[in-house]
Amino acid sequence: MRVDLLTREYPPHVYGGAGVHVAGLSRVLRAKVDVRVHCFDGPRDEPGVLGYTVPGGLEQANPALQTFGVDLEMVDAVGRVGADGVASDLVHSHTWYANLGGHLASLLHGVPHVLTAHSLEPLRPWKAEQLGGGYAISSWAEKTAYEAAAAVIAVSGGMRQDILRSYPAVDPSRVHVVHNGIDLDGWRRPESDEDRAQAEATVRALGIDPTRPAVVFVGRITRQKGLPYFLRAAERLPADVQLVLCAGAPDTPQIAQEVAGLVDQLREKRSGVVWIDRMLPRKDVVAILSHGTVFVCPSVYEPLGIVNLEAMAVGLPVVGTATGGIPEVIVDGVTGTLVPIDQVQDGTGTPVDPDRFVGDLADALTGLVQDPARAAAWGQAARRRVEDHFSWDAIGERTLTVYRDVLG
């Protein structure tokens, strides 16, 4: 079986959970099937991976049109028989960036199209700030692909419900739940004395005091991640608690300015606010997590949340919003705390009562940072949970089951 994976993100250009997912999935699938990866951001040296750039003439176009230009090049490549004489049997796209490519490849080459839903355009209306009218055509591309796909994979049960609510024309029998996975070897707490010493040196170099309790946030600066709510909640945390923000790649200048203003206000009121606004290598993120007390995920929209799995794999409890797929990751009172949220039903995920949400978030975080023994015990339970339920080997086999069903 030859499977062509279509994705915007692929190492070394990974910006979010979808890129992590495709990297992990392709690795385990290669042991069982012939995998070709098609991705954005230029050529790659890795065998079996084709990277594309925006076609000439579209460099100044709306980002959505640039995306479609890359998609068309992917469609053409999917139809080529490899040097080994093997043609594509199935195309599998990830996110709206590649969904149109998957849909057109299916029509043009007569192969089934499977897509994985990592997010949904109707539930991210703030993207109109980024794309302008391009948001309308990205939404059209996603809707068209979902309604025609042979199978849709949702990364959580919550995401499956969102898909069926957003796209009622999609047959529920074609929507399957296959969770995101985690690289258990790559995400683990340093074990040797040498590795622990190196991790401590890393966090000190980043301005983090390893002797103080710390709440860690990792994520892009985008509306869905809820970072402004956490920054407001942080004002209420005990004075000895550090706030470590690994937050960059803002969606728009507006949210970048809002977050910068909130961080400045916070620094006027308390010490230990560490903001790292660049992408860090995995080993540095592991070092930060291993010196944290609690991980926070204040998202107002989150299909699953790979960052939560990564933090749990390093042995941190997670305080996360009870929305989307997060309740399928965090076991409340066992591996972390779920913070209740009542949300406006307009697609934005905005809390009905923002002050209450901020207060509940602050209370949940305070309860854990003030009880380090409980936080440590929940962190150990978190590691066990990802080992038992979110290994990539298991996720790969479930994905292959979807492929086999589609191919008959």
* Domain ranges within the chain, ordered by starting residue: 2-181+391-407, 193-389
User: CA nearest 104: which of 55, 57, 144?
Assistant: 144
Quick check: 27 and 5 in contact, CB under 8 A? no
230 contacts 217 by C-beta, under 8 angstroms: yes
Question: What architecture is domain 193-389?
Answer: 3-Layer(aba) Sandwich (3.40)
Q: If phi over 0 gives left and psi between -120 and 50 gives alpha, with beta otherwise, what is residue 341? A: beta
Q: How confident is the model at residue 348 (pLDDT cuts 50, 70, 90)?
A: confident
pLDDT for 85: 84
Over the chain, what is the mean pLDDT?
A: 94
pLDDT computed for residue 129 by the predictor: 76
CB atoms < 10 A from the CB of 60, how many? Answer: 8
| pLDDT tens profile 93-141 | 999 999 999 999 999 999 999 999 998 999 888 778 778 899 999 999 9
Same fold for the domain at 2-181+391-407 and the one at 193-389?
A: yes
Question: Is 13 in contact with 97 (CB distance < 8 Å)?
Answer: no
pTM value is 0.80
Please name which of 188, 187, 163 lies closest in space to residue 177, comparing C-alpha atoms. 163
User: Are 90 and 112 a contacting pair, CB within 8 Å?
Assistant: yes
- pLDDT value of residue 341: 97
Percent of the chain whose predicted confidence (pLDDT) is above 90? 83
Q: What is the pLDDT of residue 346?
A: 83
Q: Tell me what pLDDT residue 332 has.
A: 97
Please tell me which residue, 234 or 302, carries the higher pLDDT value. 234
Provide the residue type at 250 as one letter: P
Residue 224 DSSP symbol: G
List, in sequence order, the alpha helices (H) in 79-223.
96-109, 128-131, 134-148, 157-166, 193-205
Superfamily for domain range 2-181+391-407: Glycogen Phosphorylase B; (3.40.50.2000)
The pLDDT of residue 83 is 75
Write down the pLDDT at residue 394. 87
* pLDDT single digits (tens) 141-174: 999 999 999 999 999 898 999 999 999 999 999 9
Q: Report how far apart, in Å, the C-alpha atoms of 144 and of each of 79, 134, 170, 174, 302 are.
A: 21, 15, 10, 15, 22
The fraction of the chain above a pLDDT of 70, given in percent, is 100
Instruction: State the residue for tokens 């990297």.
Output: 23
**Per-residue confidence (pLDDT) for residue 297, from 0 to 100:** 98
